[in-house]
Every structure is written in structure tokens, then in C-alpha cells.
Amino acid sequence: MSDWFRRLPGSRSEPAGAERVILRRLPRVLLAGSLLLALPAVIVRLAGALAPASALAAISMPVDIAVVSLLILHWTVVLTVAIAAFIVLVMKGPAFVADAYPLDEADTPAGSGGAR
């Protein structure tokens, strides 16, 4: 198992850049963005205490749909940015020895005999 992760001799790691800052900030961005996006639904619910029940249902349904769709969009964007930052982080790391892939040294495909 330890042979799977042998570093390539002479490989070097690049210094950390913006990807680490982004990865550190993403949990806060996810939480703060989710709370801010849920705020309109909370405000409609609090304002609904002053309005009749029929008016609350007519107003709260579109707001809830918009809030849920924006929350899903926000989470998707945060996940996409996290994946991209992780890929950059991995690519800046050291190189590893890959499995050998033996190649045929033939100049022509097998069975053609070199004739055209």
C-alpha cells in the first residue's frame, strides 16, 4: 500500500496561495450566505403575524420558493468553488510515481505487415 504513494524524485511543491484562504473561508461563507438568504422568509413569517392568514399564504409561498431555490444555488456554488480550490491544492503538491504502462515499440499496427 505504501508503494502507491511514492514521491517522484526531484518533484517540488509549490507554496500555498489563494486556494487555502478560500478553503478556510468557505464554511463561514456557507453559513453566513445561508442565513442571509433565509432572512426574507423569516421576515415574511414575522410580518405575517400582523396580516390575515389568507394574505400570508399568498405572499409566503413565492418567497419560500425563491428562498429555497437561492439556497440550493448558493450551496452549489460553494461546493463548486470548494472542489476547484481542492483541485488546485492537490495540483500544487508534490508529484507521485504513477503505475507503469508498458507500450509496444512497434512502428506499425500488429497484423498490417507494414504494407499499405
Domain boundaries, the chain: 16-91
67-115 pLDDT, tens digit each? 999 999 999 999 999 999 999 998 888 877 776 566 667 677 766 655 5
pLDDT (0 to 100) of residue 57: 76
**Separation between Cα atoms, residue 20 and residue 31, nearest integer Å:** 18
Q: Show the cell assigned to 98.
A: 504513477
CA distances (Å), 81 to each of 2, 8, 15, 71, 107, in order?
A: 31, 29, 20, 15, 45
**Separation between Cα atoms, residue 84 and residue 26, nearest integer Å:** 12
pLDDT (0 to 100) of residue 67: 97
Is the full-model pTM beyond 0.85? no
